[in-house]
Structure 1
Amino acid sequence: MPTSSTARPTTPPTVWPARGRHIGHDAEGVLRRTLRQLKDSQVIDDFLEVPAPDAGGDSPERVFEARWRVADEVTVRARLSLAPDLGGGREWTLIAEAEEPWDPAWPSPVTRFWPEYGDWDHDAATGLSLSRITGLPEDDKDVRRLLRDSGRSGWCVRVVVHEAMTTDERGRMPLARWLSPSLRHRVVEHRASPHQLRVVNWALREFDVEVPRGGAVVLPGSPAPSGYDADDFAVRTVFLDGSEPTDLVAAVTRFAALPRPLPDGAEEALTALRDDWHLLTLEEELVRERKRVAAYAEALEAMTQSRDLYREATERAHEALAAYRESAEAAPATRQPSGTPTTSAFQQLTRTLERFKFSPKALRPATKAEGENEKDTEIPPEPPRPPGSEKS
């Protein structure tokens, strides 16, 4: 099965992520009306539409925040960002985080922003419905392309169901009807016709999974969650007679409970929820201001310490400079005759050694060998002249 080249952080147990697409008109208006109705009916505690950072132009996205309580005490904070319409609808990303690990029996955070049914319930990757059954296309190439795109997305749970025979209206009941509330808007159900089993399994080879005849399989997504085994999430038989598909519901529930990596883009959305939250209560605002004051105090203390250290270093430098000047003034100064170039002691010593090196040999004591050589080189005496030579 496909693996990610880089390890992604695991989805925290307190976090509920979802992504979809609104294909109708006036998505912002639908959000505002729904949030206002839910607050008036006390389903949510409060909501806020975050002002756009650039008031004079079009913001790249619209952000809505909401908070509510589940189990009467656990607070849930959620942030929905609505991307601009680039054709084909407006993509939305929803991240909700509770004070405790998420319970599948809690209401879906989607229903705290969008109405129960509407144009918002479409998968962002494929455009398929998040609440209804979607049949696979007839063309084999379209089937392969659709399943490939579905299998690579990690935002939704993908289920492929093969119909062993043509079903009636009772067999067209969507799987979401029997799922827990927190899973109903995170599952995309693909239905394969009886003759499409071969092409479906051929397309799913990329993910190392296979749909049993008349059964179903939960796709691993990309990257696959830790502990995923295709055999554990394949259901041999699904009775499409209107009864609850118990084995398939159990497989989807087990898959959703696995430690799953954060899908692509969810880490940034979770960071924005935690670090850029605006919908604060009075107590939270007080805590935030106290933290801000403490941070300012720490920064001021660090600046004061840095200033004191700089001042101490400057004083020591001045003291060292003054001591050097005093020692220089106390040292005897030798005056040089005017016009005489100043030479250092090192230069004088060097010149003296050079004069001593090139002095004549007579300044050195002669050795015995040198004395013998001098005798050998003396001028011999003039030989005696013959008699009578002086007269001539």
Structure 2
Amino acid sequence: MSSSATDRPTIPTTLWLARGRRPGPEAESVVRQTLLRRKDDGLIDDHLEPHEARTATEHVFEARWRVAGEVTVRARLSLSRPTEQGQEWVLLAEAERPWDLEWPSPATMFWPEGPDTGWDREPARGLSLREVNRLPEEDKEIRRLLRDCVDGGWGLNLVVHEAMTPDEHGRQPLSRLLPPSLRHRVVEHRAAPEQLRVVNRALREFGVEVPRGGAVLLHGKQPGVRDDDFAVRTVFLDGSQPTELIDALARFTALPPPLPDGAGQYLTALREDWRLMTLEEELARERRLVAMYSEALEAMTRSRDLYREAADRAHEALTAYRESDAAPAAPVPQPPEPPVASPFQQLTRGLERFRTTAKSRRPKPAPETGTDEESGTADGDEKANGPDPSTD
């Protein structure tokens, strides 16, 4: 199963979608003849093969019809190029209001309803969309089979357990008892009475369990959905209408489930590349285009006016700047000069400089050779002894 189911957008309530495979070539001619027959029978209003939508890998058909008297349905079938396995097809139909399960299946507008047409094959394993598909015997094969069918989220995979060997009525597929819009979306996997334990062991991977004699829908682990929300306790395989099973399928389709892998591009093509229009729709489309072009032109005009106004302001600012640059520059203010000193102050400063110079040039006094006491003692001795005779 896809691990990104919760990350995908959900299926719109107005949308019906299915995918399948038709063995063999020439599916285009089968669809073309069926559409012509449906138009002759009055079941569809019109159909178209838009050449601009045809590519090297697919062929496109469009058809429109009305349900419930006045609700328009637009449908688009995309056919792949033939391969050895056949041609795969994707069918999306969108109504003008939420889809009603009692409306006709869009598949019957493009494909014949005969049992031998072979267009109703599930693309992964080639299982039937309208017949009973018996499950393999081994649980590994069952897991591989269901994993291939569930992966992508296109079909509604229903596992039904037979409580006892059914009679001829019980061997008929349940799809013929379902509402018309569910008949080509449900893949019915049927388990024999003795396969209950093996099947439930294989279903552990999907988080569900089929009751004895009941059925369970593989819902792909959607958020907010419990494992037993789409399990039916009893399904009577006697040809009677399975009311509880239909209720479970209706509740599942009303959630709505996540959009299948790759379905987004087909939904975009259905809504944006649609070519099958009535005259009123073409006129409304042209009016929408004219209104869109008018709004675009008005926006361009507003942008042009704003650009012109901004250019004028820039030009005025540039002119003003140039004029201010050509004018003489204002004189730069100079610091004030110190005041001139008076003659008396000049004479005083000169005397101060002369005094400082004289002090620095005066010689320092010579150091004395003795102390005062020594000089005094020497004088006293000279007076007591008298003059030195050597001096005479």
Do Structure 1 and Structure 2 share a fold, with TM-score over 0.5? yes
User: Per-residue displacement from partner, 1:320-368 (whole Å, max 9, x unpaired)?
Assistant: 233333333332699xxxxxxxxxx79x99xxxxxxxxxxxxxxx99x9
Q: Distance in 2 between matches of 1:187 and 1:146?
A: 15
Describe the SS at the equivalent of 2:104.
coil
Equivalent residue for 1:229, pick from 207, 226, 231: 226
Question: Would the aligned equivalents of 2:158 and 2:186 in 1 still touch at CA under 8 Å?
Answer: yes
Gaps of 5+ in 2: 336-348, 367-392
Residue 182 of structure 1: aligned partner: 181
Per the alignment, residue 22 of structure 2 pairs with 22
Tell me which residue corresponds to 2:106: 109
2:346 aligns with none
Amino acid in the other structure paired with 1:204 = L
1:293: how far off?
0.9
Could you say what secondary structure the match of 1:231 adopts? Answer: coil
Q: Is the contact between residue 11 and residue 257 of structure 2 (CA under 8 Å) also seen in structure 1?
A: yes
Matches within 5 A, 1:349-388: 377-380=360-363
CA gap 1:123/1:375 in 2 versus in 1, 3 angstroms = farther
Residues 230-266 of structure 1: per-residue CA shift (max 9 Å, x gap): 3342233333334443433333333333322222222
Mapped to 1, the partners of 2:298 and 2:165 lie a distance apart of 76
Structure showing greater Rg:
2
2:238 aligned residue (241, 246, 270)? 241
Task: Provide the secondary structure at the position in 2 that maps to 1:172.
Answer: coil
Change (3 A) 1:289 1:103: same
The answer (yes or no) to whether the contact 1:24–1:120 under 8 Å persists in 2 is no
- TM-superposition CA deviations, 1:263-321 (whole Å, max 9, x none): 22222222221111111111111111111111111111122222222222222222223
* Aligned counterpart, 1:325: 322
Partner of 1:276: 273
Contact 1:114 1:120 in 2 (8 A): yes
Alpha carbons of 1:177 and 1:376: their partners in 2 closer, same or farther (altered >3 Å)?
A: same
Where does 1:165-314 land on structure 2 (aligned, <5 Å)? 165-220=164-219, 222=220, 224=222, 228-314=225-311
Matched, 1:8 2:21: no
The separation in 2 between residues aligned to 1:37 and 1:94, in whole angstroms, is: 19
Q: What letter corresponds to residue 189 of structure 1 in structure 2?
A: E
What secondary structure sits across from 2:228 in the alignment? helix
Q: How many percent identity over aligned positions?
A: 61
Give 2:113's aligned amino acid.
E
The one-letter amino acid of 1:378's match is: R
Whole-angstrom CA distance in 1 between matches of 2:136 and 2:356: 122
- Following superposition, the deviation at residue 18 of structure 1 comes to 1.2
Does residue 1:100 correspond to 2:81, yes or no? no
Structure 1 SS opposite 2:187:
strand
For the aligned residues, what is the CA RMSD? 3.1
Residues 196 and 212 of structure 2 are in contact (CA less than 8 Å); yes or no, is this contact kept in structure 1? yes
Rounded Cα–Cα distance in structure 2 between residues aligned with 1:139 and 1:381 = 130
Instruction: Specify the SS of the correspondent of 1:299.
Output: helix
Deviation at 1:215, TM superposition (A): 2.2
Q: What secondary structure sits across from 1:43 in the alignment?
A: coil
Distance in 1 (alpha carbons) for counterparts of 2:13 and 2:354: 109
What is the deviation of 1:132? Answer: 0.3
- Structure 2 match to 1:154: 153
Q: CA distance change for structure 1 residues 90 and 238 in 2, over 3 Å: closer, same or farther?
A: same
Q: How far 1:3 moved relative to its partner?
A: 6.1
Question: What SS class does the counterpart of residue 230 from structure 1 fall into?
Answer: coil
SS in 2 for 1:131: coil
Aligned to 2:82: 85
Kindly indicate whether the alpha-carbon contact (under 8 Å) linking 1:125 and 1:153 is maintained by their aligned counterparts in 2.
Answer: no
Counterpart Cα distance in 1 of 2:2 and 2:355: 103
Per the normalisation by structure 1, the TM-score is: 0.80
Structure 2 vs 1, CA of residues 227 and 177 (structure 1 numbering), >3 Å: closer, same or farther?
A: farther
Q: Which runs of 4+ in 1 moved over 4 A?
A: 370-376
State the shift of 1:372 in Å: 9.9
CA shift, 1:375, in A, is 6.3
Shift of 1:122: 1.1
SS in 2 for 1:171: coil
Q: Secondary structure at the match of 1:76?
A: strand
C-alpha contact 1:105 1:181 (8 A) present in aligned 2 = yes
